[in-house]
A and B are shown apart, each in its own frame.
Chain A
Amino acid sequence: MSFPTPSSSRQGDAAAPATPGLSRRAALGRLLAGGCALPGLGLAAPAFSGLAAVAAPQPRQGGYLRVAAAAAAITDTLDPARQSNQTDYIRGKMFYNGLTELDAHLNPLPALAESFASDDAQEWTFRLRRGVHFHDGKPLTPADVVYSLMRHKDPAVGSKANAIAAQIDSVAADGPQAVKVRLKAPNADLPVLMGTFHFHIVADGTTDFRLANGTGPYRCQEFRPGVRSIAVRNPGYWKPGRPYVDTIECVGIVDEVARVNALLSGDIDLVSAVNPRSALRIAATPGFTFMTTQSGQYSDLVMRQDRGPGANPDFVLALKYLMDRELMMKVIAQGHAMVGNDQPIDPTHTFYAPGLPQRPYDPERARFHLRKAGMAGARLPIVASPAATYSVEIALVLQYAAARVGLELEVKRMPVDGYWSNHWMKHPLSFGNINPRASADAVFTQFYQSTSAWNATGWKNLRFDQLLVAARSELDENRRRALYADMQALVHDECGSGIPLFIASIDGLSSRVKGLSQIPLGGLMGYSFAENVWLEG
């Protein structure tokens, strides 16, 4: 598997597919675009009319863009290894680059690496782009890459990617313009991982992250954790003509209402993480619009399979049939979601398996499985929390459906604070929330492999584990797709994880802001809007 250097015109087009699965993905893209015209998603129409102009008009240079993300704390950091929230990721994407970057279907595209290749998925060669400089003028060298990747393995760095980096055996320079990454075991998704936020490249030896010194489209002029950052255009950026905006001021506004008010009062041009009700408000205000981004984020009903009622497969199936997914999509997410099918890979992803039949809401079948499990008339607690997006609402819909087939669910609503350490995975029935992962392998490995610490349901399936390892060393994309389809079918049929919805993120923007499109890692173009947007005069 190897990737050619794209022409400079294609680098800019984040949606341009770079791999052979073109026709399928293009078809999917049309499918998604079409879906937005359905009544349930009709709300998105104003956003797309505003964005339809993306390709045609010439981007304009200059201007001052004010962005508000949803997180702000004194722990905000410019150290890629420690970044943990969307405000951090926005800054990471402004100031740094990875070896690769991800397109609209999370395929890896060349970035600081102009090409990458491997014969066995275990030893990878990344050929570095020439003429790239850090903001302080230092040229990019293999030593920077070695340092940036290996520091994740040092526990003292406190890297969020420490567990992922554990698979890296060694990173070494291969001549003056290339780096060899040797893994402990094959992983065909390494180029995808290299395009994620934590693996951004910093200069060799950097330990001071009070300001950022990266290769990214903006230089860091001011950074005050929990308050704001000011980014100024990097005139020497390696993507010709980019970025467009002169200055980007980025603040975190934690309160959603305050964030939307700041947009509508004209104090902020672009805000992330808007809820569906506010989206209506934004659409109703002249001069503003919103953009919906589907992603792999989901909240799942976690049914422990090693103890309690979930140990009975019929009980698990009963609850899966009790989920009225259409209703949840329309009422809870107001159309800003996609119906899930208990498979953890979402329809925007390149490895989504479209062949699985959609599991319907079927109270009769649920009643049948419930009786078979001997659980008819049972009374069970189900733990939900605002910490897992929409989980309280999902639990209430489920409770109503369950009551009609003779199962009494008692919804226990837990506070956000401490939910993940004290409640998630700790009860027979609870809710989890999985943020979008770029790599399908990462989703399967972290949440479904028998040995994973976050295998929330305690699911153990030997065949799944074998397929997972086989897929990692499979460089042929079609064969890998087939393996991933089998694994999604296994999770769909047998795992105690009920996935009712894939949750979209919604951004609000002033109609002056142009050039945004969707990258399904999250809102604001998977946080990489900075080098893509421009401001209309």
Chain B
Amino acid sequence: MNALVLRLIAARIGLALVSLLLVSAVVFAITALLPGDAAEEKLGLEATAETLAALRHEMGLDRPALLRYGDWLAGMAGGDPGRSVVSGALVGQLIASRLPNSLLLAGLTAAISVPLALGLGIAAAMWRGSRFDRAVSMGAVAVVSVPEFLIATLAVLLFAVQLRWLPALAYTGPDAELAELARAYALPVFSLCCVIISQMLRMTRAAVVDQLRAPYIEMLRLKGASPLRMVLRHALPNALGPIANAVALSLSYLLGGVIIVETIFNYPGVAKLMVDGVTQRDMPLVQTCAMLFCAAYLLLVTVADVLGIVSNPKLRHR
């Protein structure tokens, strides 16, 4: 088992590095295709030929594009993503100032949505066909069908503007107390949970139901195992692979894909930082954010695969 897992992880890390390199090349090529460069975006209509030239020189944009990419890549390999061309700040620092915000939001959302989704999914699978199952399944479809900007906007209108229970903005500043923090995060976490819960819930239910139809479950029932033991001890480990994958996919969305929620709640996270970077043609920043999201995605998917193998008795004992 250990050899298998180790080989898998090693292969995954190798593939991940290749993927990251490819992604960086693609992102670089696409940003190069965007009209205008960082100097033009920054000076806008006030640009003159001299200030443009001076600013391009200061930003290092007067050097050939491939050379700039090479420099960035070399720096990145050494762990230094370089400086933002538009603000001159270290990209590492920019991301370090936003990443904790994103991780906190993602962490809170995961802590609430994952147990809820798994619990509801397993329960629905156990009582499949019942009223409870139908209510949960329909609720999940209904929630996933509503776009997140609508959920978030309606939640703000109701809870912040009408009832005034919760703030409309999520950011609290560095020295907020716990109660204030909970109030501030309530609405964005709720909106994000709505988006990711149904995916995980439906996958969990489907995977467990699939297992419950298998012949070995019938055998267990004949042996007199309790329904709870049947599901938790026997069906669930076999279903863990697909569930872990669904969870990983949903969670990877929480880091880079939450731009809408960050915009609506004016939350300074990494997704907004990257969108800023694109509009300002800030190549090192865009590249580094893309690497970060890509790495997080690969990490989560790899963890899900390993979990699937470790938990699956058939694979474990092969």
**Hey, which bits of chain A sit against chain B, CB under 8 A?**
68, 72-75, 77, 84, 155-156, 158-163, 166, 224-228, 251, 253-255, 257-258, 261-262, 264-268, 417-418, 420-422, 453-454
Query: Are the C-beta atoms of A226 and B43 separated by less than 8 Å?
Result: no
| Nearest-neighbor residue (CB-CB) of A447 within chain B | B45
B265–A227 touching, CB < 8 Å: no
In the complex, residue of chain A having the shortest beta-carbon distance to the beta carbon of B276: A73
Q: Does B53 contact A (CB under 8 A)?
A: yes
CB distance from B183 to the nearest CB of A (A): 11
The 5 lowest CB-CB distance pairs between A and B, nearest first, are A155-B54, A418-B35, A265-B160, A265-B168, A160-B46
Cβ B35 vs Cβ A261 within 8 A: no
Q: Among B51, B58, B89, B164, which residue has its beta carbon within 8 angstroms of that of A159? A: B51
Chain B residues closer than 8 Å to A227, beta-carbon distance: 171, 268
Q: Which residues of A contact B268 (CB under 8 A)?
A: 226-227
Report the Cα distance A422→B266, complex, angstroms.
30
A161: chain B residues within 8 A (beta carbon): 46
Determine whether B167 belongs to the interface, using a CB cutoff of 8 Å to chain A.
Answer: yes
B residues near A (Cβ < 8 Å) are 34-36, 40, 42-46, 48, 50-51, 53-55, 58, 84, 86-87, 89, 94, 97, 153, 156-157, 160-161, 164, 167-169, 171, 173, 263-266, 268, 272-273, 276-277, 279-280, 282, 285
Q: Are A257 and B160 in contact (CB under 8 A)?
A: no
Complex contact A267–B264 (CB within 8 A): no
Cα separation A261 to B263 with both chains bound (whole Å): 12
List 14 contacting pairs A-B, 8 Å CB cutoff, sorted by A.
Answer: A73-B279, A155-B53, A156-B54, A160-B44, A160-B46, A162-B50, A162-B51, A226-B276, A264-B161, A267-B160, A267-B169, A268-B169, A417-B34, A420-B44
The CA of A254 and the CA of B279, in the complex, are separated in Å by 13
Interface contact B55-A74, CB-CB below 8 Å:
no
Query: Is the CB–CB distance between B169 and A266 below 8 Å?
Result: no
Given A73-B280, A74-B276, A265-B160, answer yes or no on A156-B58 (Cβ-Cβ < 8 Å).
Answer: yes
Give bound CA distance, A256 to B243, whole Å.
Answer: 39
Residue of A nearest to B46 (CB): A160
Q: How far is the CB of B22 from chain A (nearest CB, A)?
A: 25
Q: In the complex, how many angstroms separate the beta carbon of A267 from the nearest chain B beta carbon?
A: 5
Q: B45, B55, B263, B273: which contacts A158 (Cβ < 8 A)?
A: B55
Q: Which residue of B lies closest to A264 (CB)?
A: B161
Q: Are A265 and B51 in contact (CB under 8 A)?
A: no
Across-interface contacts of A258 in B (CB, < 8 A)? 156, 168-169, 263-266
Q: CB < 8 Å: which of A74, A156, A160 contacts B87? A: A74
Chain A residue nearest in CB terms to B54 = A155
Q: Report which of B35, B50, B87, B273 forms a contact with A417, defined as CB distance below 8 A.
A: B35
**A89–B89 CA distance with the chains assembled, in angstroms:** 21
Q: Which residues of B contact A224 (CB under 8 A)?
A: 97
CB pair A74–B89 under 8 Å, yes or no, is: yes
Please indicate the chain B residues that have their CB under 8 angstroms from the CB of A454 in the complex. Answer: 45
Chain B residues with CB under 8 A of A418: 34-36
Task: Let me know if A253 and B266 touch, CB within 8 A.
Answer: yes
On chain A, the residues within 8 Å of B266 by CB distance are 68, 72, 251, 253-255, 258, 262
- Cα separation A426 to B54 with both chains bound (whole Å): 25
Q: Are A74 and B40 in contact (CB under 8 A)?
A: no
CB distance from B226 to the nearest CB of A (A): 50
A163-B48 contact, Cβ under 8 Å, with A265-B160, A265-B164, A418-B35: yes
Contact: B264 with A74, CB < 8 Å? no
For the complex, what is the distance from the CA of A72 to the CA of B280, rounded to whole Å?
12
- Of B36, B94, B157, which is within 8 A of A74 by CB? B94
Complex contacts, B54 vs chain A, CB 8 Å: 155-156, 158
B161 touches A75 (CB 8 A): no
In this complex, what residue of B is CB-closest to A253?
B266
Known: A156-B54, A418-B34, A421-B40. A265 touches B156 (CB 8 A): yes
